[in-house]
A and B are shown apart, each in its own frame.
Chain A
Amino acid sequence: MGVSFIYPEFEVVRNATRCIACRVCERQCANEVHAFSEERGAMVSDEAKCVNCQRCVSLCPTRALKIVKSDCRLRENANWQDDTIKEIYKQADSGGVLLSSMGNPKPLPVYWHKILINASQVTNPPIDPLREPMETRVFLGKKPTVIRRDENGRLDCQLPPQIELAMPVMFSAMSYGSISYNAHASLARAATELGILYNTGEGGLHEDFYQYGSHTIVQVASGRFGVHEGYLNAGAAIEIKMGQGAKPGIGGHLPGEKIVEDVSRTRMIPQGTDAISPAPHHDIYSIEDLRQLVFSLKEATNYQKPVIVKVAAVHNIAAIASGIARSGADIIAIDGFRGGTGAAPTRIRDNVGIPIELALAAVDQRLRDEGIRGNVSLIAGGSIRSAADVVKAIALGADACYVATAALLALGCHLCRTCQSGKCNWGIATQRPDLVKRLNPDLGSQRLVNLMTAWRHEIMEIMGGMGINSIEALKGNRLMLRGVGLNEKELQILGISHAGE
């Protein structure tokens, strides 16, 4: 192929009066954008390699660098937009499926933006969380629907297994392999300090992290990587991954170059082989099959661990959730279409699935209507970006939220969306030792703790404003929400009134 049709997407702008040619940018760029030219006596850059991860920008000691979007544009066309045309060029070059990372970036509706939260005025006093007790602790698991007594009339206090969380947020599944050892160490340490849980993802649990087991959710996905009895018993809960919001209906593929020695041992597969997760679990083709796996896992863990079933938010999510709630699972996790990924086919990521807001509201309502809401707890995920999103999700019916993209951002991710390249300059989505060491878990875990502590304060502040002093009183409390700019159908599905009503 002689001619490249695609002009580089970004420009590296270097302020010559500030650049001291310290070459930090050159040493820090795994994409090899920067170089020192002896002939020119100055730094030069090859912007075609730039992914706009901003590592050089962040480390440049004189702020001499910025990365801007190139203004070299194709002729304007509302139908054939730049990205659409460039994707055609790429596919004409490669003949391959387009790959992307992280969540759906398309300008589809974000319902969180169209939902507003209530506050108390005059007749019902707000609460000041700095002066009065405020409960953010939640328990996830089956809740008994009847009170049982023994023959002497004493209460039967035996509850099904529960997860205790200091706040209604957990770090969602990211496998060891897709993210680095240090990223996992940061998540594990932060979850332990915060009194919440992180999730191993489908890549097994590294032997070093068994010590954080009481703050770990161990995942069982279709590839069953790293699953053994010790693994299942190591965590506080077990998650069966049926689907992922970023790529519903398809499996996963971790390329062989990321299966380095430690990853290979943890996943229990040979070094350098591709780790392929099939699209389905080959033993699950019905709710009855799912029930068998749920109870196999419960049996393997002596009924001590709650079992989570994670599904992507898709069209018939309410019916699917109803089935899962009857399968014996303790918790359902629903992942909306904006959820992130380490790699997914672009077309799938951008076009498959439905928004978490609508899915969550529909599921909560369906389970209530069927009288089985207490059978399961609900976890909402798929781009929960702030404490306000958490509060809105809880009021829509979630028991807790999963966050992953926000956690990665705290660790340094700049959402350049090229995780699939394995050259993450921030030491997150990579297995290259020189890059992995860029994420020091001492700093990473502290930033995660800071972020979640800030969110917890904000959640308490918003709850206090509503006159609510316990997260339990907010759960499914849709009267606390109003929609703006939503049509009747959207309001009906969300189960909320329009602002002004």
Chain B
Amino acid sequence: MKRVYVNEEWCLGCHLCEYNCAFANSGMKDMALALKDKKIFPRIHVEGDDRITFAVSCRHCTDPLCVKSCIAGAISVLDGVVCIDQTKCVGCLTCVLVCPYGALAPGESGVMQKCELCMGNACGAPACVTGCPNNAIVYEERNDAT
């Protein structure tokens, strides 16, 4: 299965992925309208310090701890993509506690949200990857999934 991988060697820390993610999931057609004067809640986060930066989003684990731990049964795996049903989420934050990558976070409404590889929005392919200026995030098939 194709997943999003990070090449930290090439990450510039420009944070474009965060904005592209927020826009992709806004459901709007105009980026300026969607994001202007708003706090954004992206599903990918650039982490790092002065020396190194890298973008972290859901790894779509083959045996996801978040799915096992979700008390509301809101998280499930659909064709390998770890998805969240936001109508079922009770906001207990157990998933935040168990996820080793810090890939889940509350959205604007406080309900949990996570990367679903842009399968649920109009992009069709991860917007963070498409918009990365330096190939620091790639969407490809590898055989090292956890």
* A interface residues (Cβ-Cβ under 8 A, vs B): 17-24, 27-28, 58-59, 61-62, 64, 434, 437-438, 440, 442-443
Contact = CB atoms under 8 A, between A and B. Distances in A.
- A-B CB proximity, top 5 nearest: A20-B35, A18-B32, A62-B32, A440-B10, A22-B19
Given A27-B15, A58-B133, A61-B31, 13 more contacts: A20-B19, A20-B31, A23-B15, A27-B12, A27-B14, A28-B14, A61-B19, A61-B23, A61-B131, A62-B32, A437-B9, A438-B12, A442-B135
A356 B16 CA distance: 43
B13 interface: yes
Interface of B: 9-10, 12-16, 19-20, 23, 31-32, 35-37, 131, 133-136
A195 to B, nearest CB: 25
Contacts of A24: 14-16, 19
Contacts, number: 57
Contacts of A59: 14, 16, 133
A20 B42 CA distance: 14
Contacts of B135: 440, 442-443
19 contacts: A17-B36, A19-B36, A20-B31, A20-B32, A20-B37, A21-B37, A22-B35, A27-B13, A28-B12, A58-B133, A59-B14, A59-B133, A61-B31, A434-B12, A437-B134, A438-B134, A440-B135, A440-B136, A443-B134
A64 B81 CA distance: 35
Contacts of A19: 32, 36
- Interface class of chain A by DSSP: loop
Nearest to B135: A440
Nearest to A433: B51
Nearest to A434: B12
Contacts of B37: 20-21
A62 B31 contact: yes
Contacts of B134: 437-438, 440, 443
Contacts of B9: 437
A19 B15 CA distance: 15
Contact of A437 (B12, B16, B32, B36): B12
B70 to A, nearest CB: 32
Contacts of B15: 22-24, 27
Given A19-B36, A22-B15, A59-B133, A437 B10 contact: yes
Nearest to B50: A434
Nearest to A15: B32
B42 to A, nearest CB: 11
A350 to B, nearest CB: 34
Tell me which of A17, A22, A23, A438 has the highest count of chain B C-beta atoms within 10 A of its own C-beta.
Answer: A22
Contacts of B14: 24, 27-28, 59
Contacts of A443: 134-135
Nearest to A55: B133
B13 A20 contact: no
Contacts of A58: 133
Contacts of B35: 20, 22, 62
A17 B16 contact: no
B32 A17 contact: yes
B107 to A, nearest CB: 18
B134 to A, nearest CB: 5
A23 B131 CA distance: 16
